[in-house]
Amino acid sequence: MHALNLQAKPLSLADRLADLAVDALIDEADLSPKPALVDRRGNGAHTDLHLGLMHASALSLWPAFKEMAEAAVEIGEVDSTLREAIGRIGREGEQAMLTTTNGVNTHRGAIWALGLLVTAAAMEPKSTSANAVSLRAARLALLDDRHAPKPLSHGAQVALRYGARGAREEAQLGFPSVLQRGLPQLKRSRANGHGEQNARLDALLAIMTDLADTCVLYRAGEEGLQAMQLGAQAVLDAGGSASLSGRRRLHELDQQLIALNASPGGAADLLAATLLLDRIERDGILQGAF
């Protein structure tokens, strides 16, 4: 007679990375109180988004992240074949997202940023420092995808109007908002004993201090962008999310950005990218398991 084997089948590298990416998106959505963004309290500056939709959207992207990681393992180098494969998978992921959300754009920027990072991590699971993964992701983002449509997206429109560098350039530069702002602040606030949720809020604010968020520019112009950057800096200067006076400033920033209709959706995506890189790097999960 055989003993019943109750051991779970080990996850593949691609399964694991897709799990981490979706976890990062859900953690970002749940984090509260985020200024003018969807969170556990409400819809921020949005009329067509809510937390349940953000969760459903995040879960709908799991197959795309897994497929990107598998393509990276199979192709194994940063070249046009891999770039075009993940471009195709990313577009299919966008369709899955839009089907799930009934046409609302919840995570377009996140598919781009986290898709590149998942792909870059899967290529070399033993080289998972945030720097190394971001550098490989940047090299991929610099390659052309011949099949990518060139719509006049919101990002493209504000690039024309304000000369702003958006999601594409952020990736091509190796995610400076994540490596120079989000991750260092996350680690600093943790080291200061501020607690995980406050550390994540501080990381989001640090990203907001300097980002040309095309979502904010499109909705609220340069006035909105300046309010976002200066307001985020004011919260950090007041002691961050863990301090009483920082919390007061955060509440004021929330009200001000909602009044301006200025939702920092790009910064939210980059917080998710920060959480993903932190988890890949900190847990050593990939090196140990594969």
Ligand X SMILES: Nc1ncnc2[nH]cnc12
Residues 6+ apart with CB under 8 A from 173: 138
Task: Tell which residue, 137, 180, 166, has the closest CA to residue 265.
Answer: 166
Binder to ligand LTSJ6FE6 among 115, 174, 231, 246 (CB under 6 A)?
Answer: 115
Of 18-26, 86-94, 122-130, 193-201: span binding ligand LTSJ6FE6 (CB under 6 A): 86-94
Q: Report the partner that residue 29 touches, choosing among ligand X, ligand LTSJ6FE6, none (CB closer than 5 to 8 A by kind).
A: ligand X
For the beta carbon of residue 93, count every other beta carbon within 10 angstroms: 25
| Partner interacting with residue 166 (select from ligand LTSJ6FE6, ligand X, none; CB below 5-8 Å by kind) | ligand LTSJ6FE6
DSSP 3-state of 254: helix
Closest distance of CB 239 from ligand LTSJ6FE6, Å: 27
Shortest gap between Cβ of 131 and ligand LTSJ6FE6 (angstroms)? 18
Residue 38: contacted member of ligand LTSJ6FE6, ligand X, none (CB under 5 to 8 Å, by partner type):
ligand X
Nearest-angstrom CA–CA distance, 273 and 290 = 22
CB of 124 closer than 8 Å to CB of 283? no
Q: How would you class 3 by CB atoms within 10 Å of its CB: exposed for 0-12, middle for 13-18, buried for 19 or more?
A: exposed
Least distance from ligand LTSJ6FE6 to the Cβ atom of residue 260, Å: 12
State the residue for tokens 């009329």: 47
In this complex, which beta carbon is closest to ligand LTSJ6FE6, that of residue 168 or of residue 188?
168
* Choices 43-51, 69-77, 117-125, 241-249; region in contact with ligand X by CB under 6 A: 43-51
